[in-house]
Structure 1
Amino acid sequence: MSLTYVEAVVVGAFQGVTELFPVSSLGHSVLIPALAGGQWAQDLDVSAPQSPYLAFIVGLHVATALALLVFFWRDWVRIIGGFVSSIRYRRVKTPAERLAWLIVLATIPVGISGLLLEHLFRTTLGKPIPAASFLIVNGLVLFLGERLRRRAPTPAAQASHVDRKAMPAAGVATEALPTLDEGPDARIARLPMGRGVLIGSAQILALLPGISRSGVTMVAGLLRGLSHEDAARFSFLLATPVILAAGALKIPDLTGPLGAGIHGPILAGSIASFVSAYLAVRFLTRYFHTRTLTPFAIYCGLAGLASLLWLTLA
């Protein structure tokens, strides 16, 4: 296999964007070469045995994860600090400590599933037609998630709900009620641990090419009552250790025989992935303040259907 600089940069840029946009990076990594045809289809076949392409695109995850770490560095300083203090004092009390353990526990199911199922799914389903079909399914999941989501209460409704509660008698100590202007990390940290693990477990579906990690995680968050903003933020925080670990596991492949002669394109693709991922997360954290998953659902449905028709009829 050869890997040109053009192929590496295009795939890297697409990977950085589609990993964070709820449209499936693996699905696009399978479909783009197949739709382009020719040498691209030969060079960039994710299901080919002993092909460095899978190691390349998974290795690009390191660049994507670094972009997430750079963007959310303040959050990760608090999260890591909360984890350390939780271990040191044997408690889970502060929002940072709760959020740290939410991420740890919610990452375990997808980590185990990835180690056990990644090769099976790649060899059996890492082909263009299954990827196009799952992209359509991804669009349906996003669309239904928007229709079925539990509406997060507005600040006014929260205040009204608090006002209706019976006030404690004088002199009785109570926990402070959550303030309406608390930060997003504190809101996410209020999730019950079981609910957080359930949201994180949705990432297992992203092992299927065409199913988006961020998309299914956001839908799971919306169905459990998170707002779009908080669901997106939790999705990105959950994805960071998973993406980083998956990429780190493939780096030895790229430094061995599979990566011989393509180190330059790998570096170029990684830079493109980092830049595009940083711009994508910066855009999406603002987008989901007021917008929904519906445009992405429409895109996935149309793109998957068009790809399926092209691949089967052309």
Structure 2
Amino acid sequence: MTLFEIIVLAIIQGLTEFLPISSSAHLILPAEVLGWRNQGLAFDVAVHVGSLLAVMIYFRNDILQMTGAFFKHGFSKQQTTDSKLAWFVVIGTIPAVIAGFLLKDLIETHARSAAVIATTTILFGLLLWYADVKAKHVQKLEQLTLRQTIIIGLAQMLALIPGTSRSGITMTAGLMLGLNRESAARFSFLLSIPVILGAGLLAVKDLLEANEAVDWSALIYGAGFSFVSAYLCIFLFLSWISRIGMLPFVIYRLLLGVVLIAFIFW
């Protein structure tokens, strides 16, 4: 890859990992529009590392508090807000792990088409709009319940379908359940940590099995630009989401879906 391709793909990964706009929809566009080749397993690992570092550094205080509370109170009757939240992140991740293990090959074989991605980009964009408009937006993250966590975790399973957007569907579920926008976004970002870590480890496993040649400069640039774009994305999104709502992202998803449909029938 050229340096320009590395920068563009890394920024796309960093932004779309956390914005509710679908990474899979964006990653097929360079190939469709510009004829770029697949970036390879090693580059996938690098950009996942960059995104993971960004979210972990941004939420470092939350992670430390949740981890400490989990080991101190997580197995006792005296649960704290932080220990419960740590449990909720674990519980909310389980459905996606099970679904990924059972359905990954099936989805990669039958659902990774431009038509599927265009359809889900539009449909789940409209669902995000409905949740943002109709929801009450009153509940804080500290008031999250086990029932709500399970529902959000089940919703995250849908992110296996290309074009859905993991962050988009978990935020949609959170909003539908009454969480305010910032709380829905924060829980979505916290849920992303084990998911990105798992995806990165699977990519490392595939990379080792493939014995692929590694371009270390491409990996360093990819991880760096992915980190910067992901960190800025999280910071700006949480700063603005309470004021701007989800409508800009809904409009963007609808336009993106139309563009993808246009390329299908071009």
Mark yes or no: TM-score above 0.5. Answer: yes
Moved more, 24-33 or 94-103: 24-33
Contact 2:41 2:207 in 1 (8 A): no
Shift of residue 81, structure 1, vs aligned partner: 0.8
Q: Which residue of 1 aligns with 2:88?
A: 102
Alignment equivalent of 2:114, drawn from 123, 128, 150: 128
Q: Which residue of 1 aligns with 2:66?
A: 79
Aligned residue for 1:103, secondary structure, equals: helix
Shift of the 247–200 alpha-carbon distance from structure 1 to 2, 3 Å rule, reads same
Inter-partner Cα distance in structure 1 for 2:163 and 2:94? 22
Output one character per residue of 1:160-212: Cα deviation in whole Å (capped at 9) or x when no partner.
xxxxxxxxxxxxxxxxxxxxxxxxxxx42322212112112211111111111
TM-score, normalization: structure 2? 0.92
Shift of the 291–18 alpha-carbon distance from structure 1 to 2, 3 Å rule, reads same
Contact 2:44 2:203 in 1 (8 A): no
Shift of the 62–114 alpha-carbon distance from structure 1 to 2, 3 Å rule, reads farther
Identical positions, percent: 37
Shift of residue 151, structure 1, vs aligned partner: 4.0
Q: Which residue of 1 aligns with 2:136?
A: 150
Alignment equivalent of 1:65, drawn from 35, 47, 52: 52
Aligned residue for 1:126, secondary structure, equals: coil
Aligned residue for 2:79, secondary structure, equals: coil
Shift of the 312–263 alpha-carbon distance from structure 1 to 2, 3 Å rule, reads farther
Shift of residue 119, structure 1, vs aligned partner: 2.5
Q: Which residue of 1 aligns with 2:12?
A: 14
Q: Which residue of 1 aligns with 2:3?
A: 5
Inter-partner Cα distance in structure 2 for 1:58 and 1:212? 19
Inter-partner Cα distance in structure 2 for 1:191 and 1:94? 13
Output one character per residue of 1:211-246: Cα deviation in whole Å (capped at 9) or x when no partner.
111111111111111100111111101111111111
Amino acid at match of 1:61: H
Shift of residue 92, structure 1, vs aligned partner: 5.0
Contact 1:214 1:235 in 2 (8 A): yes
How many pairs does the alignment contain?
266
Contact 1:79 1:97 in 2 (8 A): yes
Q: Which residue of 2 aligns with 1:119?
A: 105
Amino acid at match of 2:50: A
Shift of the 133–55 alpha-carbon distance from structure 1 to 2, 3 Å rule, reads farther
Matched, 1:279 2:232: yes
Contact 2:46 2:220 in 1 (8 A): no
Contact 2:11 2:225 in 1 (8 A): yes
Amino acid at match of 1:28: H
Amino acid at match of 1:82: A
Quote the RMSD (CA, aligned, Å): 2.0
Shift of residue 109, structure 1, vs aligned partner: 0.4
Inter-partner Cα distance in structure 1 for 2:78 and 2:257? 44
Amino acid at match of 1:101: W
Q: Which residue of 1 aligns with 2:243?
A: 290
Amino acid at match of 1:71: Y
Shift of the 104–193 alpha-carbon distance from structure 1 to 2, 3 Å rule, reads same
Shift of residue 31, structure 1, vs aligned partner: 2.7
Shift of residue 255, structure 1, vs aligned partner: 4.5
Gaps of 5+ in 2: none
Of structures 1 and 2, the larger Rg is shown by: 1
